[in-house]
Amino acid sequence: MYTIVTGAAGFIGANVVKALNERGATRIVAVDNLTRAEKFKNLVDCEIADFLDKEDFLAGLRAGRFDGAVDAVLHQGACSDTMEGDGRYMMENNYRYSLNLLDWCQARKIPLLYASSAATYGGSRQFREERACEAPLNVYGYSKFLFDQIVRRRLPEASAQIAGFRYFNVYGPREAHKGRMASVAFHHYRQFRGEGKVRLFEGCDGYANGGQKRDFVHVDDVVRVNLFFLDHPQKSGIFNVGTGRAQSFNELAAANVNSCRALQGQPAETLGALLEQGFIEYIPFPEALAGKYQSFTQADLSRLREAGYDAPFASVEEGVARYVLWLKDHV
């Protein structure tokens, strides 16, 4: 039997493949679109049974190529560009593609674990997996939101596990190919190593400079949640995946700068000291993001904990320090 991972050459998908390998699983069908060929690097140290382009994969599903040969589908593939303006492409790539996989898995009683997003909440101040809290600000968030609504309607009569994960702000290894859509933690590292300083947005929505807060979650924790549900196929639903603790961009920047300084044997400094020394500076808030920016996110982990996932999540200080060590050797 094979495990299918879509978006396998992408950020979260490649980390899922690597984690499956570390558990001894190598019968993995990796599915992705390598139009941006540099993503292949994410799979170089992974073991897979086959690689298929997304379109060839969908054709194979329709032709019955995988019938009776798949034990689970981990669907991480999507366009995650929150600034993408082509709504038709976004809905086809994120919503319709996911719906095809859902139909196929349900018809064959195969577990489907899929990537949703905290973008479904948009400008909400409450982050519970409930319809009343959901108000996406862009078509990316809407594509994820709409699929989640289909899943909610299907869950009561589902033939097999359906588990959706609303990822908050994920950062960590294997994201360099994402370019401008890579995490803020990645860009902070590149800025500090290249320019000796980190840039943050000035205040907005009532927050002070760099004071906007997000729930920043390390990709290792995201992967662990996926594997937990893979090991518990009786558990279904839509679940937030974050740390449950919002931390400011100032805290994220300070953690990055101090981790980079530690590489040079230099001591950690307070935020105030880093500002005084010019290691962190503020730039005007972009007009293009006005009305489309989440100034605060914080995952409510109640449902995830009720499902039995009780492992801790790394704080920004812990996760960024680990990530910087990885970046030192890979970027």
Q: Which residue has the tokens 């320090």?
A: 321
Residue 197 among the catalytic residues: no
Residue 140 among the catalytic residues: yes
| Identified catalytic residue from 178, 197, 235, 292 | 178
CA–CA dist 189, 323 (Å, integer)? 9
Strand partners, 230: none
Instruction: Tell me which residue of 36, 40, 35, 38 sits closest to 9, measured CA to CA.
Output: 40
Instruction: Tell me which residue of 235, 234, 244, 231 sits closest to 306, measured CA to CA.
Output: 235
Give the contacts of 208 (CB within 8 A, at least 6 positions apart): none
155 half-sphere exposure, CB direction, 13 A CA radius: 16
Q: For residue 70, how far is the Cα from the chain centroid?
A: 24
Determine contact, residues 261/317, Cβ cutoff 8 Å. no
| Identified catalytic residue from 95, 114, 140, 142 | 140
Provide the strand spans (E) within the chain: 2-6, 28-32, 50-53, 70-75, 112-117, 162-167, 169-171, 198-201, 213-214, 216-218, 237-241, 247-248, 280-283
Residue 169 phi/psi, 5° resolution?
-85, 95
Determine contact, residues 253/216, Cβ cutoff 8 Å. no
CA–CA dist 142, 183 (Å, integer)? 21
**Residues with catalytic annotation?**
140, 178
